[in-house]
Amino acid sequence: MGTRKSAALGICFLALICAACAQKGENVADKKGDGKVTADAAAALGMEIAADLDARIAAYAPVEIKVPWELLDENEQKVLEKLYRASKIMDELFLRQVWSGNVDMRDKLAAHGDARLAGFFALNFGPWDRLNENQPFIGTMPKPDGADFYPADMTAAELEAWIAAHPEDKAAFQSNFTVIRRAEGGLTAVPYSKEYAGLLGEAARYMNEAADLAANESLAKFLRSRAAAFMSDDYYQSDMDWMDVTGNLVDLTIGPYEVYEDNMFNYKAAFEAFLCVRDPEESKKLDGLKGYLVKMEKNLPMDDRHKNLNRGSDSPISVVDEIFSGGDTKAGVQTLAFNLPNDERVREAKGSKKVMLRNICHAKFDRILYPIAERVLAKDQLGYVTFDAYFNHILLHEFSHGLGPGKLTLADGTETTVNLELKNTYSINEEAKADIVGEYNFYYLIDDGFFDRKLEKETAVTFLAGFFRSVRFGTDSAHGGANMIIFNYMKEKGAYAQDPATGLWSVDFAKAREAVTGLAREILAIQALGDFKASTELIEKYGKMGDDVRESLSRLGDVPKDIVPSFEIEKRYAVN
Ligand code: ZN
């Protein structure tokens, strides 16, 4: 099972997230504070409510996500409605996966009519603030590490001991698609199809109904096989069918995918859905990048013998506008792009699909990235901060995860991987690689004529603005740490400079290009040699935040940290 941060598998969350308080199609961030109501809710719940709830809510910019009805014929609109209803069930499934007390708490909040609190709860899928290290904002209970995938009182050691004593249970216990429960005298693995039979059956029914209506055969095939997987817990064939969906406008990704909510073992997959409308023309245009994979590998600034020219995975690119998201992906930070499936057998056979959520990227650019640029970049360079540069760098970042060293043979003949050799520095190193090699490839594709020359300056300045967005979340995360390294390196090489009078930053274009190549070379060399010591030194030398950056970040107080979508489709087809 993949990780969003690892090379081959990465959806990494380049730009983080958000979630919707989809409850009643209302937007939590639109509500004005009313301390009295919140106090009443606290009393009804018998729990304390965080005093700074308003500030927590204000961290999210409300964004309305519309449906491009004009692009869809009558039949596609009918398909869309069924698929929305199936996707909405992922909300219910994920709510149960996060914590056993969630449904009860939601009902109490709804009964009490405090829409702000209920909305913030819905946005976080539970009483823990995902943007602030999961601090509880209702009550004081810490978020359970194992979510509701394991018995609340079970420790990691207990599970490990059980598997050691019952090796025949190992596969079922470590499966992505079972929950662990207490049974007479011990532990037992219950398949998702049984644990969530009712909700999964309902979702499967909507998907089969949509398949019967759908004119696109490849989509219908996927919907039927995924519906069957909900009943069998065997997702392989439906992952294969998902890779083959083509020629469609209405697009659905649905199922149990990522394992991060299981913070105890990363075994258990969380339910989620992305319901989208594809842009066939833009998808086709960017799909041309597939032809560049080997060329980009050849062009990397590293020794030829370390280049991996046999990666021939046929990875399609899809540009879509999201019209609804459900479950895991909607909790906390909103996803910009994803790369699925995670099943290595499918990736071997068919590669993986990169899906770019264009309207979400646009919303974050407008509401977060550009406002940040206005506060910290020199006025004469603001015109170079563009959506095109932002969007294409996100795509090239994802691409670049798949470039460079992966499997290694050390000098003594040991077969290993970059991941194993770089140990706990791997995630930061890999994210820094994706970012800087992504930028390096941007220049390459401009030189080769794939992208317009005007993007050369735009990507340089937009990349700098993106740094300030990323490090706001701290330098401990892989993305934040990676960005800090890049910024300090670029600054050292004279690529970034601060005006002492205004404190605003600007890019020296010639030096920026040179520095990008220099840092890409250093990071790729570390990976090619599996050099843990050099990786550690790179982080120590460049990973710290200086006072200059801290001062710049202090100017961003009023800029939201993420967006919270309210979905038009939810209002049209209100479930209640
Ligand atoms: Zn990444």
In angstroms, how far is CA 451 from the centroid of its own chain?
Answer: 26
- Specify the pLDDT at position 474: 84
Ligand 1 centroid distance, CA of 550 (Å): 24
- Specify the pLDDT at position 30: 38
Ligand 1 centroid distance, CA of 15 (Å): 10
Separation CA 212–CA 219 (nearest Å):
10
User: Hey, where are the domains in the chain?
Assistant: 1-61+100-141, 377-545
- pLDDT at position 452 over 80: yes
pLDDT tens digits, residue range 343-359? 888 887 888 899 999 99
Ligand 1 centroid distance, CA of 401 (Å): 7
428's CB contacts (< 8 A; 6+ apart) are 478, 481, 482, 485, 539, 543
Ligand 1 centroid distance, CA of 461 (Å): 20
Q: Where does the pLDDT of residue 11 fall: very low under 50, low under 70, confident under 90, or very high at 90 and above?
A: very low
- pLDDT at position 59 over 90: yes
Separation CA 426–CA 323 (nearest Å):
35
pLDDT tens digits, residue range 118-163? 999 999 999 999 988 899 999 999 999 999 999 999 999 999 999 9
Q: List Cα–Cα distances, 428 to 399, 482, 541, in angstroms.
A: 17, 5, 14
- pLDDT at position 20 over 60: no
Say how many C-beta atoms besides its own lie within 10 A of residue 254's C-beta.
Answer: 26
Q: Where does the pLDDT of residue 181 fall: very low under 50, low under 70, confident under 90, or very high at 90 and above?
A: very high
Structural contact between residues 98 and 91, judged by C-beta atoms closer than 8 angstroms: no
Ligand 1 centroid distance, CA of 30 (Å): 32
Nearest to 473 by CA among 7, 13, 57, 11: 13
Q: Where are the alpha helices (DSSP H) in 214-275?
A: 217-232, 236-244
Please give the structure tokens belonging to residue 75: 């039949």
Ligand 1 centroid distance, CA of 428 (Å): 9
Q: pTM value? A: 0.89
- Tell which wins on pLDDT, 161 or 479: 161
Please give the structure tokens belonging to residue 70: 């004009």
- pLDDT at position 84 over 50: yes
Ligand 1 centroid distance, CA of 515 (Å): 20
